[in-house]
Amino acid sequence: MSPRITMAVTRRVLTQLRRDHRTMAMLLFLPTLLMTLLWWMFKDTPAQVFDSIGPSLLALFPFFIMFLVTSVTTLRERSSGTLERLLAMPMGKLDFLFGYALAFGLMAALQSVIAVAVSVGFLGMDVVGPVWLLTVVAVLDAVLGSALGLFVSAFAQTEFQAVQFMPAVVVPQMLLCGLLVPRDQLPTVLSQISDVLPLSYAVDAMQHLMVSATTGEVWQNLVIVSAFAVAGLGLGAATLRRRTP
């Protein structure tokens, strides 16, 4: 791995994003707009629904969006021939993946900071734990989404397939992460499955921050989420082949 090459990839991806204003705007503001929509939906209901599911969705939206953006972008790189050209150059596979992860991680951080700031600052989301830690969780979720997106893009031959990986990989995690039914109330098998899905830990962290000021459990969850992200990048590297059929 070489920092020079990793940074070259990061810079190039960010330049590409800067040129694509529409994607940039959606990356930065879409989660915030969705949070605002959610707040509006429950504005006139007496129960504190926004406060109870808002934090979980702050974990979910960045994960969701970064997964999609990353898998399509990397697939484009694979199919346009630029990846083949790069791999014939002194480009390490990890340089390539970390370069992407850094660029999208940075975007994810901006996206999450805006979404958290608006949710807590303007929409009055009540969080008992520290708000900065809430932001850290959101950023890591987005990085996790990027890492998994990089990984699954290896299994998609077309952009159609890549887009469909979202319902295949992301939606089951959404259903089982504890947002709709608390994880301990799921049927045993599903509860066990939810134990090995990364999003469950992200949502656990958010739900904990919502009701408690203690941070020990949050950090534990964050370690697990990070481990999944690193594993996603590692598996992604394993699927990048210099020699193709």
Contact set with another protein (CB under 8 A): 4-5, 7-9, 11-12, 15-16, 19-20, 80-82, 84-91, 242-245
Residue 24 or 230: the one with the smaller Cβ distance to another protein is 24
Tell me how far, at minimum, the Cβ of 32 lies from another protein, in Å: 25
Closest CA to 66 of 119, 161, 156, 144: 144
Measured distance CA(236)–CA(230) in Å, rounded: 10
Tell me how far, at minimum, the Cβ of 5 lies from another protein, in Å: 5
Tell me how far, at minimum, the Cβ of 218 lies from another protein, in Å: 38
Measured distance CA(66)–CA(47) in Å, rounded: 31
Residue 95 or 204: the one with the smaller Cβ distance to another protein is 95
Residue 187 or 245: the one with the smaller Cβ distance to another protein is 245
Tell me how far, at minimum, the Cβ of 6 lies from another protein, in Å: 10
Measured distance CA(8)–CA(32) in Å, rounded: 30
Q: Which two tokens stand for residue 61?
A: 């939206």
Residue 19 or 187: the one with the smaller Cβ distance to another protein is 19
Ordered DSSP codes for 123-137: S----SS-HHHHHHH
Could you list the beta-strand ranges (E) of 120-231. Answer: none
**Cα 20 → chain centroid:** 20
Measured distance CA(181)–CA(183) in Å, rounded: 6
Residue 21 or 132: the one with the smaller Cβ distance to another protein is 21
Position 203, amino acid: V
Tell me how far, at minimum, the Cβ of 22 lies from another protein, in Å: 12
How far, in Å, are 79, 161, 165 from residue 156 at the CA level?
Answer: 10, 5, 8
Measured distance CA(9)–CA(88) in Å, rounded: 15
Residue 76 or 191: the one with the smaller Cβ distance to another protein is 76
Tell me how far, at minimum, the Cβ of 196 lies from another protein, in Å: 33
Tell me how far, at minimum, the Cβ of 4 lies from another protein, in Å: 7
Judge whether 137 and 218 are in contact, CB under 8 Å: yes
Residue 13 or 203: the one with the smaller Cβ distance to another protein is 13
